[in-house]
Amino acid sequence: MHHPTILAIESSCDDTSAAVLVNGEIRANVVATQQVHEQYGGVVPELASRAHQQHLIPVVNAALQKAGVARHDLDAIAFTQGPGLLGSLLVGGMFAKTLALALGKPLIAVNHMRAHILAHFIEAPRPVFPFLCLTVSGGHTQLVVVKSALEMEIIGQTIDDAAGEAFDKTAKLLGLPYPGGPHLDKLARQGNPTRFPFPVGAMPGYDFSFSGLKTAVLYFLKKETAQNPDFIQENLPDLCASIQHTIIQTLLRQLRRAAADNGLSQIALAGGVAANSGLRQALQEEAAAQRWQVFIPAFQYCTDNAGMVAKTAEFQYQAGDFATQLVSSDPRLKLV
């Protein structure tokens, strides 16, 4: 089987990344983060697009240099087609299309959510098909039966807020800086996860709902701070731990049912929220009880990165799945 040399570009949200894959291995995975959004408490799409324009060429040059690969040695150029912010996707997509045309190389359009799942194949240990993947990123929460690299079935997903949004929105209610998820996770390690009981979203089938949690936290904090203005500061670690515990239990409840009903014991965790320490620990404990074999990518391949795009592009290259210059960025691109 031919192992292509691929340059991959990821620009779906607020991280600009380029990676180079050689002989099936990620030789370079360079990421430029954007600090400009912190003052606004969330990603500003127009500012993200401008930052991608500034970062993309230096990031690509750094990745090629680190990998020791010249442009003419590339076999293909890959990029994230969607989902994501349209302006950000367009910056990466147009650059990839232009570079592929200039070099006379094939172009590969990659689905961002598929890339999160296939990040598990970058390094050992690797799952064996079929397996069940819980994908938890900023804007998506999905349960996916992964039958092969190119054949997947979504059996459950959020009907409102994603888990990542639940972390960030509740963290904002607590007054934590953006991005709130990591700050909430850090404080949760010092708190009591069962002190404040919040509702676990109980949806039919394998779907998720987190909007009720956000509302419950909002009204709870309003009630308590009306009686004690310092309530949040005095109870911050316990609040963080209780919120995180509720989100994790909501995820595990549906994951447990989906695994049992589909007869799958290989469980994968993907997406930016997979970097959450509480979720990782809870999943390992659940795996011991359920006799699951759990797979979680390294931290650098959980958050948005081009390494996962390069690995996905390798599967598509071997399947002959190439794009034309007419391919368009799609902010609502579906996994299946």
Q: Quick one: 197 exposed, middle or buried, by C-beta within 10 A (0-12, 13-18, 19+)?
A: exposed
Q: Is 116 annotated as ligand-binding?
A: yes
Q: Is the dihedral of CA 30, 36, 41, 44 positive or negative?
A: negative
Peptide bond into 297 cis (omega under 30): no
Q: Is 15 annotated as ligand-binding?
A: no
Closest CA to 164 of 48, 266, 251: 251
Q: What residues contact 120, with CB distance under 8 A and at least 6 apart? A: 126, 127, 133, 268, 270, 295, 297
Q: Is 139 annotated as ligand-binding?
A: yes
Pairwise CA distance, residues 207 & 211, whole Å:
13
Q: What are phi and psi of 91, to 5 degrees?
A: -60, -50
CA angle at 307 for the pair 45 and 35, rounded to the nearest 5°: 35
Pairwise CA distance, residues 219 & 221, whole Å:
5
Task: Produce one character per residue of 54-72: b if its CB has 16 or more CB atoms within 10 Å, e if not.
Answer: ebbeebbeebbeebebeee
Q: Is 55 annotated as ligand-binding?
A: no
Pairwise CA distance, residues 62 & 30, whole Å:
7
Q: Is 185 annotated as ligand-binding?
A: yes
Q: Is 276 annotated as ligand-binding?
A: yes
Q: Which residues are annotated as a binding site for substrate?
A: 135-139, 168, 181, 185, 276
Q: Which residues are annotated as a binding site for Fe cation?
A: 112, 116, 304
Q: Which residues are annotated as a binding site?
A: 112, 116, 135-139, 168, 181, 185, 276, 304
